Amino acid sequence: MIDIQRLYSFFKECSKVTTDSRAIAGGEMFFGLKGENFDGNEYALKALGQGAKYAVVNADSAAASSGDERVIPVPDTLEALQALARHHRENTFVDGRRLTVIGLTGTNGKTTTKELITRVLSVKYNVTATKGNLNNDIGVPLSLLTIDGDTQLAVIEMGANHPDDIAKLVKVSEPDYGLITNVGRAHLLGFGSFEGVKKAKGQLYDYLAANGGKAFVNVDDPDLSAMAAERWPVPEPVEGPVIPYGLSLMKAKILRSSAEHPFLRMKLPEGLLVETHLAGAYNATNVVAAIAVGLRFGISVEEAVEAVSSYIPKNNRSQMEKTERNILIQDAYNANPSSMAAALDNLILVESDCKGALLGDMRELGEESEAEHLKVLNQVLSMGLDLVCLVGDEFKKALAARPSTAVKWFASSEDLAAWLKENPVSGMTILVKGSRGIQMEKTLPEL
């Protein structure tokens, strides 16, 4: 059993929490986590030697019997990390009230939406948000433990690859508000089916419904609307648990992109123009979500629009870049059937005389993988693109089912990059997208 009060008192003495002994700068609380291919307990004494104030280790580890008073043994270090994060979340107050946490999940757009919401809320509040995509059973508690005395709102992103992931993460983060960006056909190997995806993501709604929380719901999305109606079936007054938003409610009009205006632009009522640095009309719902959250927390539409317009995406997420030779739509961080279809739909809308698509395999689709890759192949062939390059074994299977001389196939992104070096392309607008493991960003230097 973890003595959480004792652990928390030690935590309050430390500068931060880390699970990486290489990141020790002095004064940290180090957690020795144990995984399938690593054991952080083995680095606990090294972390202390480098300046960590305390090291939390498994009670059965060698470090636990070292005799060093700075070593804190616990039955399970991951459980201790999560318990500490939950306790910190529960004991952080703003103006006498428990800190408000906004929880965020979804199949696509989680990180971009989190960044947009954070940018909007930061107009008025000191916001602590998930760094990057640290959204799993380790990342969520680490994010919560960065909350400090200056924090006025927290935005916590939660990812899921398995049926009970969100249920576990909401128990740690205890969100007061929640937002599901969308539900799509991703991680089917872990979820089993699209219904499994909805059930898993819907655990955020389940938690909010059981604990008096509120949900921001995109009313233009039939799946999310139906999922919300299952949890909150009785129509509620204006201040009920469901806070609706959507392009239709905001009366937002997406403007066509062009070489002069390649990024997402939206026109709002009363002449307001949203000029973003995001590639893709599919980001419009993410922008509207951020504006809706801002409105709920007292930020004006004008302030929210200005904040959204200042956001510049990173890490190959919805980025658009003009190189010396081409215009690149970089969405190479991840891919699944719904995000791939949306990216290709957006490419259709882009005004350009010459277009191409470099697409990598979509991972973790299980038995539906071949069928889903074939759908993507059919879609891309229907677009009449000037260049189509596919990477990976799953696309190879799709091409076996539907051979095409209009497509070039490569075993790896390195092979495609080598081909592009020998066969340079110019004057194109090119979508680059694929699952993280395919590393499609390796092609970018050759474009």
User: What gap in Å lies between CA 312 and CA 444, rounded to an integer?
Assistant: 18
Residue with structure tokens 């081909």? 419
* Other C-beta atoms lying within 10 Å of the C-beta of residue 115: 22
Cα 306 to the center of its chain, rounded Å:
23
Class of the CATH-defined domain 92-309: alpha beta
Radius of gyration of the chain measured on its C-alpha atoms: 23
The pair phi, psi for residue 159, each rounded to 5°, is: -105, 165
Contact 117, 155 (CB under 8 A): yes
Output the CA angle 281-285-291, nearest 5 degrees: 125
Alpha helices in 40-76 (DSSP H): 44-49
Return d(Cα 302, Cα 206) in angstroms, integer.
33
Q: In this predicted model, what pLDDT tens digit does every residue of 279-331 receive, in sequence order?
A: 888 899 999 999 999 999 999 999 999 999 999 887 666 677 888 999 898 87
Q: Give the Cα separation of 310 and 85 in Å (integer).
A: 31
pLDDT 10s digits, 328-346: 988 777 788 988 988 898 8
pLDDT at 79: 96
CATH for the stretch 319-446: 3.90.190.20
Asked if the domains at 4-75 and 92-309 fall in one CATH topology, the answer is: no
Alpha-carbon dihedral 344, 346, 350, 355, rounded to 10 degrees: -10
CATH of domain 4-75: 3.40.1390.10
The structure's pTM equals 0.85
pLDDT value for 292:
97
Domain boundaries, the chain: 4-75, 92-309, 319-446
Residue 54 and residue 70 in contact, taking contact as beta carbons nearer than 8 Å? yes
CA 333, 370, 200, 77 torsion: positive or negative? negative
Distance between CA 52 and CA 24 in Å, rounded?
6
CB-CB neighbours of 370 under 10 Å = 15
Inter-helix orientation angle 222-231/203-210, to 10°: 30
Phi, psi angle pair for 218, to nearest 5°: -75, 105
CA–CA gap between residue 263 and residue 320 (Å, rounded): 7
Q: Looking at the chain, how many residues does it have? A: 447
Is residue 96 left, alpha or beta, with left meaning phi > 0 and alpha meaning psi from -120 to 50?
A: left
20's CB contacts (< 8 A; 6+ apart) are: none
Q: Hey, what are 82's tokens?
A: 């999560």
- Each residue's pLDDT, cut to its tens digit, for the chain (447 residues) gives 679 999 999 999 999 999 999 999 999 999 999 988 889 999 999 999 999 999 999 999 999 999 999 999 999 999 999 999 999 999 999 999 999 999 999 988 899 999 999 999 999 999 999 987 789 999 999 999 999 999 999 999 999 888 899 999 999 999 999 999 999 776 667 777 888 889 999 999 999 999 999 999 999 999 999 999 999 987 655 578 999 999 999 999 999 877 677 789 999 998 899 999 888 888 999 999 999 999 999 999 999 999 999 998 876 666 778 889 998 988 777 788 988 988 898 888 888 889 999 999 998 888 889 999 999 999 999 999 999 999 999 999 999 999 999 999 999 999 999 999 999 999 999 999 998 889 999 999 999
Residues 198-211: pLDDT tens digits? Answer: 999 999 999 999 99
For 1-15, letters b (16+ CB in 10 Å) and e give ebeeeebeeebeebe
